[in-house]
Structure 1
Amino acid sequence: MDRYGFVRVAAASPEMRVGDCDFNKDRIIEMIRRAEAQQIEFLVFPELCITGYTCADIFRQTILQDSAVKALQEIAEKTRGSLMVVMVGLPLNVKGRLYNCAAVIQDGAVLGLVAKTYIPGYNEFVEHRWFSGAEELETPDIHIGGKAVPIGNDLLFVCEDNDNLGFGIEICEDLWVPVPPSGYLAQAGAVLIFNPSASNERVGKAAYRTSLVESQSARCVAGYVYASSNIGESTTDLVFGGHNIIAENGILAAQSERFLDSSELISYDIDVIGLLSYRASLGTYRAGRNASRYRRIAFKANPVRRDTLQRRIERHPFVPSDRSQRDERCREVLSIQTSGLMTRIRRTGLSRPVIGVSGGLDSTLALIVTVRAMQRLGLPASQIIAVTMPGFGTTGRTYNNAVQLIKGVGAELREINIREACLQHFKDIGHDPDIHDTTYENVQARERTQILMDLANKHNGLVVGTGDMSELALGWCTYNGDHMCMYAVNAGVPKTLIRYILQWYAENEADEAIRGILLDIIDTPISPELLPPSGSGTIEQKTEELLGPYEAHDFFLYHVVRWGAPPAKVLRLAEQAFSGTYSREQLLAWLKVFYKRFFSQQFKRSCLPDGPKVGSISLSPRGDWRMPSDMSPTLWLKELEEL
């Protein structure tokens, strides 16, 4: 495992010949050498790969059985001096019964033999004709090369220097049963699951096989590595495609092409520390407490140093890169927001939503959500009180977009200029309006919130909040200003996703006039517009020039909150994700801003208004996130300084 908690795993399907143990042994050794060159730490081969899976009644021949054991010993010897953990499959005769086993090898030694638990005997599978299940074993170990080796389905392999790095093995059919052994292995501490398999091809089976691996990796909160036999197996009645799959916590990380007439290997860097952090947050994860049912088998640590990660690091983790998935994400988020607001309006009886519309991204999304909620409630959009409140920093572009959008959706337009009220307030508190400090900005934000709240009281309405999750993370909102509302529909939506949601709405639900307004809003620089514009009337106060780009801050937020990543790891991941776009120095500077603000602004999140969770992260103190408002960031900032 490297210093950031990643381990490189691989699944291999070597070229093979049925029953030719020497040929298969040589191909396996070749693949081991290839994997070593790629700094792979865990390598799994297919089920019964030393003999081939399709030997049928020939499995009963002692010459094949003895040849397989001899090949295993030779493979083990070839790994001497290597800390890579290798898993190969072979049949073993134990006291007159044959068992389908996976041998675990490291540094010249066979560490353990995992016997298959579930032996299929249906449809094209007649494995029960030759093999017994692990429960029929009558001995806890067998001798190979004069050494006792543990055997069974109760083996948990644990790193001798790190109790948190453990793995388990289940074999082919074990995954397809209602309660796979991997679930118990994961609860006992296995963060990696390996599956040596021989799964034949049928129409539609590959997709189902992939879904099994993905879903089991999610249930286990683990990395799942699946290696299957290739076309070298017998084609008497079946064809095998060499389908190798790697998944991590429900996400398909890598998979091989099928039906290739060559040795194939796929690899991926699994985030072990991230998985362990997520497990720690799941209160029900260890409910089974199954560690006592397993024998712990030690393997040696394999410290590695790598320059690059063999892993997709999404630049925008909240935004799917695939267009169809992104469209579905946008549609679903809008539906969650809309349903939440509908229920709040219905339950409170406050059927006149009040919303401040600035012409920016956040208020536009909140207005769209409100319009959709009213439509589904069978209420006219004209009951929405949409207020535009020009201030000292309002530009013509945002003002016109706000007015046209309000008119376009059919809401009631109210325009209340806040300049005079703010000037009066400056006079009342003795503030010089020429000093454009925090007071200057926050007076405007609080004046707007006061207007919205009082309008809601006057018209028996409900103030719909506009602030998003990215602003909450950074505290980029005015306490008791735009920070406050009666229902915060955007509270769970990150800034990087909002543009795509508006674009989806523009393309799928908006009419042509609204579509044009939305596209211009999407292209408008992000700004609170609290400071005066430039002489030409353009936006002068640009948030991302002050804080750093939201795409970087959303990236930081995802890895800090979702995976518990420490600062050095977050920076390492960001460097790879934003390579060629931002320098290490820029990312480090923005990461410091993130940590300082994330810690210091928790007090704003501690009294957050109600709002729906829409994704994997929420900063609500009543939901996913609880943190002291006066927590010290020293530990985190110290690590950043050392970088």
Structure 2
Amino acid sequence: MFNYVKIAVAVPKLKVADCVYNKKEILNTIAKAADKKVKILAFPELSITAYTCADLFFQSPLLVSAEKNLAEIAEDTKELDMLILIGVPVLADNQTFNCAALLHKGKILGLVPKTLLPNYSEFYEERWFSSADDLISEEISFAGQVVPIGGDLLFTAEKIPYLKVGVEICEDLWGPIPPSCYLSLYGATVILNPSASNELAAKPDYRHQLVAQQSSRCLSAYAYASAGVGESTQDTVFSGHSLIYENGVLLGESESFCRDNQLICADVDLELLVSERRKHTTFMSQLTKPDAQKFYREIKFDMCVGELGEFLRPITAKPFTPKDDASLSKRCRDIFMIQTAGLARRMEHVHAKTLVIGISGGLDSTLALLVCVKACDYLGVSRDHVLGITMPGFGTTDRTYQNALTLMKSLGVSMREISIRDAAIQHFKDIGHDPAIHDITYENTQARERTQILMDISNQTGGIVVGTGDLSELALGWATYNGDHMSMYGVNAGIPKTLVRVLVNWVANTGELDRKASEILLDVLDTPVSPELLPPDENGNINQKTEDLVGPYELHDFFLYQIIRFGFSPGKVLFLAEQAFGDAYPREILLKWLKNFYHRFFMQQFKRSCLPDGPKVGALCLSPRSDWRMPTDASNRIWMDEVEKL
């Protein structure tokens, strides 16, 4: 199942000190989890007794009942191939420990005691419990079984790749160096935290930050199961606010103060986590420090992969674009300023008198022009330092031509118009090419002529050529080598096509431009993406639509993200695309363009190996000086073979 594992956090209805009642609610929740194909299930801290028993933890009947009912839960779940964490008080070495018991197929795999015991404000845990550091024994007899006990336990599923589970309890996470830091360094990809975090004003936000940051820092999945409204409200109130994060991304969250049992499920991508760890070379470097040298006992269990059931994981069709408007606006502003600052620094460094840019009336050159204008504003120099050049050719339509001219006028930049028709026709004569043959020579002649014009005018005016090509075009090699492929600074090189569209739309709606300029931007967004290298149709409309030739950019950007960001296989990429796009594209269409992506990506690496400078703006970049180094003559056989089988 592509290395997904379904994990869940449960918030059962509990009664304080009523282990029999709590057992029934726990078993009911386990049954619901089994129906949903959950493989790992975490209950809150001390869930067998409830957390707020206070001095009742000194009472032998409570401790005996907790042990007895846990044994009965183990017996009742011996047919389930599910790893179940239940909070339970445990007597050992003349002390009581606040433990997490991990059960699988009726066996108690281990008991993990809490390490950091809060004894401040409303918490008095040192009154009842001892820290894991005070433990003497390595195994004890508990609930009729001989069970490993300690904070040094890691639980490994032998038959499921990458699945290793670590446990820390509530306050352990709130300390300066949580145990999960070390657990993850020693292989834990999933961290379970049974917690009893009482509710305070603004605490949910902090809880989110804490769990999100720890899952990011540990490059792990983090399941935080917190005690609910059944706890005592004598001095504190518990809301059951539980969370599932994966590498800083929220996958699931409970409803606070819910009076019913809750089960929050999510499918965790173990392969994604391992991929991130392989890339982050500083992750394992911490183990060279003496204080990180620890010994963990590995507890193996024979969980099988099984069915995934309903896929419970948010998969967006636009992975480069935030969903909510507030995040989107901030992201756009950040990206635009990265582009602007990068270009401004280059302009200062080379003492450029002009920013020379080819303006086609298309999407990419429009964004690059906006960046040029913003760079001049940023440096406090006149916008006439931007020299926009429109170079109509055989495929230029009146719509894009007029948009290019009008936009440059409204932005107040310097303008020139240079037709490339005569130069291209002369070149055809020089090389003996029939201009009636509209092949790749016909197309690339125009692209290279435009680049020559830009380069020469930049020399003439003491400027630099600003590149307009984007990340999606670089991935597909949809650029003319030594034509639009080349510039002196490529401001769009780190931005995929789907995000270029979002950025232009954002600028159009910020209110910083006049009405005419904003209208032009909106029309550019409505214009089909095209290199305009073939003559228009009989009605004067664009006759060469890029997405008809190479495929929809929304698909290619999705493929790019999954393949390069995480290294996923073709089968997994197809599976995710089916989840993300639903019925928008039939399977055979997805496969067609996926195959095309792999073909073009490998064949066009030579263009990426000699990219001009340009700013990285996101987590993914194809510059050979940044994220992607690949031999230009590497074979794509392994990937293409798998696509063919699909």
Q: Name the TM-score, length of structure 1 as normaliser.
A: 0.99
What is the alpha-carbon distance in structure 1 between the residues aligned to residue 211 and residue 304 of structure 2?
Answer: 26
User: What is aligned with 1:218?
Assistant: 216
In the TM superposition, 1:541-620 aligns within 5 A as 541-620=544-623
Tell me, yes or no, if the aligned pair for 1:84 and 1:302 is still in contact at 8 Å: no
**Residue 208 to residue 315, structure 1, CA distance change in 2 (3 Å):** same
Could you give the per-residue CA deviations for residues 472-518 of structure 1, whole angstroms, max 9, x where no partner exists?
Answer: 00000000000000000000001001111111111112121111110
* Aligned equivalents of 1:109, 1:54: Cα separation in 2: 27
Matches within 5 A, 1:221-620: 221-289=219-287, 293-306=295-308, 308-508=310-510, 509-620=512-623
Q: 1:224-282 CA deviation, whole Å, 9 max, x = no partner?
A: 11100100000000000011101111111110110011110100001101111111111
Q: Provide the identity percentage.
A: 54
Residue 580 of structure 1 aligns to a residue whose secondary structure is helix
Shift of 1:436: 0.8
Give structure 1 stretches of 5+ with no counterpart: none
Give the counterpart of 2:142 among 137, 141, 144. Answer: 144
Shift of 1:60: 0.9
Q: Residue type of the partner of 1:311?
A: R
Cα distance, 1:141 vs structure 2: 0.9
Aligned equivalent of 1:188, options 186, 189, 197: 186
The CA deviation string for residues 574-604 of structure 1, in whole angstroms up to 9 with x for no partner, is 0111112110010000000000001111110
Structure 1: 4+ residue segments shifted above 4 A: none
1:126 to 2:124 alignment: yes
Q: Deviations over 1:185-209 (max 9, x none)?
A: 1110001111000000000001110
Runs (5+) with no aligned partner, structure 2: none
**Aligned residue number for residue 85 of structure 2:** 87
Distance 1:407 1:293 in 2: 69
State the one-letter code of the partner of 1:561: I
Contact 1:187 1:291 survives alignment (8 Å):
no
Answer yes or no: is the 8 Å Cα contact 1:188–1:291 preserved in 2: no
What residue identity is the alignment partner of 1:127?
E
String of CA shifts for 1:56-81, please: whole Å, max 9, x gaps: 01101111111111111111111112
Question: Does 2:634 align with 1:634?
Answer: no
Between the aligned partners of 1:395 and 1:237, the Cα distance in structure 2 is 74
Query: What TM-score does the superposition give when structure 2 sets the normalisation length?
Result: 0.98
Letter in 2 for 1:526: V
2:396 alignment partner AA: T
Taking the TM superposition and a 5 Å limit, the aligned residue runs for 1:146-225 are: 146-162=144-160, 164-225=162-223
Question: SS at the partner of 2:162?
Answer: strand
CA root-mean-square deviation: 1.0
Q: Partners of 1:274 and 1:628 in 2: how far apart?
A: 24
- C-alpha contact (below 8 Å) 1:120/1:127 kept by paired residues: yes
Asked if the contact 2:5–2:308 (Cα under 8 Å) also holds between the matched residues in 1, the reply is no
Describe the SS at the equivalent of 2:47. Answer: coil
Q: Secondary structure at the match of 1:189?
A: coil
Of residues 71-80 and 49-58 in structure 1, the stretch that sits farther from structure 2 once superposed is 71-80
Q: State the alpha-carbon separation in 1 of the partners of residues 502 and 119 from structure 2.
A: 50
Inter-partner Cα distance in structure 1 for 2:588 and 2:293: 45
Deviation at 1:163, TM superposition (A): 5.9
Query: Within 2, Cα distance between the matches of 1:582 and 1:164?
Result: 32
Judge conservation of contact 1:189–1:291 (CA < 8 Å) in 2.
no
Q: Is the 8 A contact 1:278 1:564 kept in 2?
A: no
Between the aligned partners of 1:68 and 1:146, the Cα distance in structure 2 is 13
**Distance of 1:163 and 1:481 partners within structure 2:** 46
Shift of 1:308: 4.2
Secondary structure of 2:640's match? Answer: helix
d(CA) in 1 for partners of 2:212 and 2:293? 24
More off after superposition, 504-513 vs 193-202: 504-513
The 3-state SS of whatever aligns with 1:510 is coil
SS at match of 1:625: coil
- Number of aligned residue pairs: 641
User: Aligned equivalents of 1:222 and 1:533: distance in 2?
Assistant: 53
Distance of 1:242 and 1:166 partners within structure 2: 26
Paired AA for residue 356 in structure 1: G
How far did 1:307 drift?
5.8
The structural deviation recorded for 1:292 is: 5.1
Q: Is the 8 A contact 2:534 2:543 kept in 1?
A: yes
- Code of the residue aligned with 2:407 in structure 1: it is L
Q: What is the CA-CA distance between 1:621 and the residue it aligns to? A: 0.4
Structure 1: distance between partners of 2:15 and 2:425: 86
Could you say which residue in structure 2 is the equivalent of 1:96?
94
Distance 2:414 2:499 in 1: 28
Match of 1:63 in 2: 61
SS of residue paired to 1:293:
coil
Which residue identity is paired with 1:338? T
Please list the CA deviations of residues 257-316 of structure 1 after superposition, one character each: whole Å capped at 9, or x if unmatched: 100111101000011011111111111111133685211010223212336421111000
Give, in whole Å, the separation in 1 of the partners of 2:221 and 2:130: 28
How far apart are the structure 2 equivalents of 1:588 and 1:341?
39
1:355 shift after superposition? 0.4
Q: Distance in 1 between matches of 2:98 and 2:440?
A: 71
Specify the code of the residue in structure 1 equivalent to 2:265: S
